[in-house]
């Protein structure tokens, strides 16, 4: 079975958490008591604090008195008396000067200012050690704010009215000056005749512009046509060739010669008396055949070419002459039109200067009129505001003197401190458990090692009996070793273990006591048991059982003594360690030791070996590889998780058959969930050193008592 994670949060059940809290109860109690005491002291020493609150309503701006045109850019400048937002006024109330003034008047007090959600109400809460000061502080703050706001508003409105009156006088003077200048300009320049003449001249200019543009287009078209015709004429050849076909005259000549030779041949045959086979006739036939071949080789027709001047080129040249003749006339007409246009535009320019002057005077007049009207409207608005002025903030709820303090609430504070102390203690307990690398419970070992539990041995005091024959029949420790014996039997029911190894991670974990008591328990069960001390480095079994160490295992292996285990009770014999050898590992890994194990198994039902700690020497791994089963002893509260994991890893590498773990020195609160422990009451004594001498030697009476 693979070991699981040993982290605190992995796989913890409620009983395991309760076991952790029981184990760490001292940390929880200390944190609880300390923080609770601190809370009580702080609560009792805290001075009482009284609280009172007042409320103020902020009115929004009045839009009925605003007679200023909103489109006027001066409106934003003269918009006096506009109410600020509630958040803005909260910031003003929180300003330092107001708070300082309140402190000087009523004394020190803590003031908290906040708007009431979704309203125009501001709430001021005052806190002080004096109930009267707690009530007067918010009332004084609101009163000072209202007085300051009202006085400031009236002062600003008076200053604004004086400024507007001065501006109104100046704007009216500017309006009169602009009206006079505009009237004089119209009279001096005869404005009606000026407009008519300007319109006529503008019409002439427009006509000349249209004509000049038309001439420009015509010249551009004519130049483009001349250029295109020039390209066509240059591309056209100066002359053209004509071709005519006639009958080949050579063929006619050859055919005439053939006809002549044919007449000669006929005359030779008819008149000359020659036969067709005559050499003369054959010579003529040969000439005729040669001429016919020449005729066959000659083409039937011949081509004659004639060169004449190009008609297309002549046509283009004539057209170009006409176009070039039209161009000077158009250019002359364009120059005349441009001259007339320049003269007309010069005349129109005179009218433009006059229009600019007129527009300037009109703008000055309109601006002066608008400014004069704005000042007049604003003066009227400010006059109405002064007459209709009223406070924009009102106290709707005054603070009353409180009868009882709001803090400290002693019962609640003490309870809260106790809860914090308890929570802190729980957190510290869990943190300590998380940081603790020791195996404190069976659940810890199960998660770390993944081994089944073979038995749980309770912690014993120095006065308690440590060996099974000395224990009473109903002693929890006595019962725990019997349970260990039974669980080992069940663990090996399919393959009975004749040889058992008892080991641990480090010294002092109780493996020797466990091996001895396991041997006692099996012997009392009717088995023949031999207990062998194989801890050849630091043997302690002989001290625990009050036996002689010599002769022992080492002496038998070296041949110095015969194999004679010491019988301590019927069914149980002990072979002590003997002399200390220089090489225990080699001795235990020798053939002689294996032969000795076979001999011992023939003499007893079970042979139990007490081995050295696994992490101290390699002897335990060597022994475990030769045994039928291995029992790992874990001391709860002392064995480190890392050490236990490493020990199990070494045993696994040695291919040991680890039957399970025996948990030694288990305290009662760590054995929660195991019912047979609840029947007994025993404390948590100091840990007993397994290498120390037993509290009392084995007595035959003890053995006999146990047998009964």
Whether 372 is covered by a domain: the verdict is no
Task: State the average pLDDT for the chain.
Answer: 76
Residue 641 lies in a domain: yes
Same domain, 306 and 343: yes
For 513-555, the pLDDT digits (tens) are: 889 888 998 998 889 999 999 988 889 888 888 888 888 889 9
Q: Are residues 557 and 634 in the same domain?
A: yes
How is 232-276 classified by DSSP, letter by letter? HHHHS-SEEEEEEEEE-HHHHHHHHHHHHHHHHHHHHHHTS---T
- Render pLDDT for 644-671 as a digit per residue (tens, 0 to 9): 788 888 888 888 888 888 888 776 655 5
**What is residue 406's DSSP assignment?**
S
Between 370 and 438, where is the model more confident?
Answer: 370
The pLDDT confidence band at residue 5, using thresholds 50, 70 and 90, is: very low
Tokens read off for 5: 């994670």
Contact 135, 400 (CB under 8 A): yes
Question: Is residue 77 domain-resident?
Answer: no
The answer to whether residue 386 sits within a structural domain is no
User: Do residues 550 and 506 touch, judged by C-beta distance below 8 A?
Assistant: no
Radius of gyration, alpha carbons of the chain? 67
Co-location of 323 and 424 in the same domain: no
DSSP bridge pairs for 397: 55
Q: Is the pLDDT of residue 570 over 80?
A: yes
| Per-residue pLDDT at 465 | 55
Q: Which residue has the higher pLDDT, 180 or 389?
A: 180
CB 638 within 8 A of CB 665: yes
pTM exceeds 0.75, yes or no? no
Q: Read off φ and ψ for residue 148, nearest 5 degrees.
A: -65, -40
Separation CA 497–CA 629 (nearest Å): 6
Give the pLDDT score at 602.
92
Q: What is the pLDDT of residue 572?
A: 92
Cis? peptide before 551, omega within 30° of 0:
yes
Alpha helices in 579-640 (DSSP H): 584-588, 591-603, 619-624
Q: Quick one: pLDDT band at residue 174, thresholds 50, 70, 90? A: confident
Percent of the chain with pLDDT over 70: 76
Averaged over 294-299, what is the pLDDT?
Answer: 82
Q: How confident is the model at residue 329 (pLDDT cuts 50, 70, 90)?
A: confident
On whether both 425 and 460 belong to a single domain, the answer is no
pLDDT tens digits, 625-644: 889 999 988 887 777 777 77
Going by pLDDT thresholds of 50, 70 and 90, the confidence category of residue 194 is low
- Which of 623, 617, 611 is closest to 655 using CA atoms? 623
pLDDT for 243: 62
309 membership: H or E segment, kind and range: strand 301-309
Of 530, 540, 528, nearest to 504 by C-alpha is 540
Domain-located, residue 574: yes
Tally Cβ neighbours within 10 Å of residue 502.
28
Same domain (yes/no): 582, 458: yes
pLDDT tens string 300-325 = 777 666 666 667 777 777 877 877 78
Over residues 396-412, the mean pLDDT reads 81
Q: What is the pLDDT of residue 244?
A: 62
Closest CA to 699 of 478, 470, 475, 529: 470
pLDDT at position 600? 92
Q: Tell me, what DSSP letter sits at residue 613?
A: P
DSSP code per residue over 48-60: PBEEEEEEEEEPP
Q: Does 329 lie in the same domain as 287?
A: yes
pLDDT at 41 > cutoff 50 = yes
* C-alpha to C-alpha distance for 92 and 548, rounded to whole angstroms: 98
Are residues 463 and 342 part of one domain?
A: no
CA distance 497 to 412: 65
Classify the C-alpha dihedral 566-481-521-449 as positive or negative: negative
Residue 324 placed within a domain:
yes
3-state secondary structure of 479: helix
Would the pLDDT of 608 be above 90?
A: yes
- Over 50: is that where the pLDDT of 89 sits? yes
Instruction: Starting at the earlier edge strand, list the strands of the sheet with 572-575.
Output: 453-458, 658-666, 629-635, 499-504, 606-610, 529-533, 572-575, 566-569
Instruction: Return the pLDDT at 300.
Output: 76
421 with 524, same domain: the answer is no
Q: What proportions of the chain, in percent to the nearest 5, are helix, strand and coil?
A: 55, 15, 30
Cα angle 472, 674, 683; round to 5: 55
pLDDT at res. 349: 63
φ and ψ at 276, to 5 degrees? -60, -20
In whole angstroms, give the CA distance from residue 11 to residue 446: 11
81 pLDDT higher than 60: no
Give the pLDDT of residue 138: 87
Report the CATH number at residue 602. Answer: 3.40.50.300
Q: Does residue 74 fall inside a structural domain?
A: no
SS3 529: strand
Overall number of domains in the chain: 3
Answer whether 477's CB lies under 8 Å from 510's CB. Answer: no
Neighbouring CB atoms inside 10 A of 475's CB total: 18
- Range of 684's domain? 448-700
pLDDT at 66 over 90: no
Same domain as 424, residue 336: no
At residue 609, does pLDDT exceed 60?
yes
232: pLDDT strictly greater than 70? yes
Residues 6+ apart with CB under 8 A from 497: 488, 606, 627, 628, 629, 657, 659
Query: How do beta strands 529-533 and 606-610 pair?
Result: parallel
Both 422 and 538 in one domain: the answer is no
pLDDT confidence of residue 107: 83
Residue 441 has pLDDT above 60, yes or no: yes
Statement to judge: residues 430 and 467 lie in one domain? no
Question: Do you know the residue count of the chain?
Answer: 708
Asked if residue 71 belongs to a domain, the reply is no
665 Ramachandran zone, left/alpha/beta (phi>0; psi -120 to 50): left
Domain boundary among 304, 325, 360: 360
Q: Does residue 606 register a pLDDT over 90?
A: yes
Neighbours of 159 (CB within 10 A): 11
Structure tokens at 700: 């035959």
Angle between helical axes of 14-23 and 25-45 (0-180°, round to 10): 70
CA atoms 681, 685, 687, 692: torsion sign: negative
Q: Residue 683: pLDDT band by 50, 70, 90 thresholds?
A: very low
| Residue 222 CB neighbour total at 10 angstroms | 16
pLDDT classification of 435: cutoffs 50, 70, 90: low
pLDDT for position 697: 36
Q: Are residues 289 and 336 in the same domain?
A: yes
Q: How far does the chain reach from its first CA to its final CA, in angstroms?
A: 41
The mean pLDDT of 246-272, rounded to a whole number, is 81
Residue 565 DSSP class: P
**Per-residue confidence at 431, pLDDT binned at 50, 70, 90?**
confident
Residue with the larger pLDDT of the pair 68 and 202: 202
State the average pLDDT over residues 345-351.
66
How far, in Å, CA of 624 to CA of 608, rounded? 12
């Amino acid at each position: 079975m693979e070991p699981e994670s040993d982290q605190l949060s992995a796989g913890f059940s409620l009983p395991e958490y309760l076991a952790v809290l029981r184990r760490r109860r001292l940390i929880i109690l200390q944190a609880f008591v300390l923080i609770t005491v601190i809370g009580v002291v702080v609560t009792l020493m805290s001075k009482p604090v009284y609280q009172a609150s007042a409320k103020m309503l902020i009115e929004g701006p009045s839009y009925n008195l605003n007679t200023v045109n909103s489109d006027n850019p001066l409106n934003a400048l003269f918009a006096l008396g506009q109410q600020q937002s509630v958040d803005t006024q909260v910031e003003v109330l929180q300003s330092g000067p107001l708070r300082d003034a309140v402190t000087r008047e009523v004394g020190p007090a803590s003031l908290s200012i906040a708007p009431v959600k979704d309203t125009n109400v501001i709430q001021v809460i005052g806190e002080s050690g004096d109930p009267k000061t707690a009530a007067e502080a918010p009332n004084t703050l609101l009163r000072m704010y209202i007085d300051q706001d009202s006085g400031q508003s009236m002062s600003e409105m008076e200053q604004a009215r004086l400024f507007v009156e001065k501006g109104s006088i100046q704007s009216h003077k500017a309006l009169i000056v602009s009206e006079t200048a505009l009237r004089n300009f119209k009279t001096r320049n005869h404005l009606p005749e000026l407009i008519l003449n300007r319109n006529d001249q503008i019409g002439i200019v427009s006509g000349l512009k249209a004509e000049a543009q038309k001439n420009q287009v015509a010249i551009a078209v004519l130049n483009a046509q001349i250029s295109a015709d020039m390209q066509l004429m240059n591309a056209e050849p100066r002359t053209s060739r004509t071709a005519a076909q006639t009958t080949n005259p050579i063929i006619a000549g050859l055919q005439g010669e053939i006809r002549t030779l044919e007449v000669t041949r006929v005359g030779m045959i008819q008149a000359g008396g020659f036969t067709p086979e005559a050499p003369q006739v054959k010579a003529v036939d040969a000439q005729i055949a040669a001429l016919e071949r020449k005729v066959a080789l000659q083409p039937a027709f011949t081509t004659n070419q004639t060169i004449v001047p190009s008609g297309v080129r002549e046509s283009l040249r004539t057209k170009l002459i006409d176009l070039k003749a039209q161009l000077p006339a158009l250019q002359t007409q364009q120059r005349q039109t441009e001259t007339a246009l320049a003269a007309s535009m010069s005349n129109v320019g005179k009218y433009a200067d006059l229009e600019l002057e007129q527009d300037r005077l009109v703008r000055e007049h309109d601006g002066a009129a608008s400014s004069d009207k704005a000042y007049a409207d604003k003066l009227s608005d400010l006059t109405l505001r002064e007459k209709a002025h009223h406070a924009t903030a009102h106290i709707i709820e005054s603070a009353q003197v409180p009868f009882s303090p709001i803090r400290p609430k002693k019962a609640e504070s003490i309870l809260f401190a106790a809860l914090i102390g308890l929570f802190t203690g729980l957190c510290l307990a869990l943190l300590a458990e998380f940081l603790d690398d020791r195996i404190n419970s069976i659940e810890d070992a199960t998660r770390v090692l993944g081994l089944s539990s073979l038995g749980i041995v309770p912690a014993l005091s120095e006065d308690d009996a440590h060996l099974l024959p000395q224990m009473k029949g109903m002693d929890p420790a006595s019962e725990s070793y019997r349970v260990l014996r039974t669980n080992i039997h069940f663990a090996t029911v399919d393959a009975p273990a004749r040889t058992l190894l008892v080991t641990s991670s480090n010294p002092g974990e109780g493996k020797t006591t466990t091996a001895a008591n396991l041997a006692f328990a099996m012997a009392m069960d009717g088995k023949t048991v031999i207990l062998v001390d194989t801890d050849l480095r630091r043997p302690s079994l002989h001290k625990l059982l009050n036996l002689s160490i010599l002769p022992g295992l080492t002496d038998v292996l070296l041949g110095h003594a015969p194999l004679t285990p010491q019988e301590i009770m019927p069914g149980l014999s002990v072979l002590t360690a003997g002399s200390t050898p220089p090489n225990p590992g080699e001795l235990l890994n020798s053939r002689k030791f294996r032969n000795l194990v076979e001999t011992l198994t023939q003499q007893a039902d079970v042979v139990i070996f007490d081995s050295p700690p696994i992490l101290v020497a390699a002897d335990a791994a060597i022994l475990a590889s030769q045994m039928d089963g291995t029992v790992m002893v874990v001391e709860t509260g002392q064995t480190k998780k890392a050490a236990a994991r490493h020990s199990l890893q070494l045993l696994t590498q040695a291919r040991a058959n680890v039957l399970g773990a025996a948990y030694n020195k288990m305290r009662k609160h760590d054995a929660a969930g195991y019912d047979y422990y609840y029947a007994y009451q025993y404390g948590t004594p100091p840990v007993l050193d397994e290498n120390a001498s037993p509290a009392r030697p084995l007595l035959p009476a003890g053995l006999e008592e146990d047998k009964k």
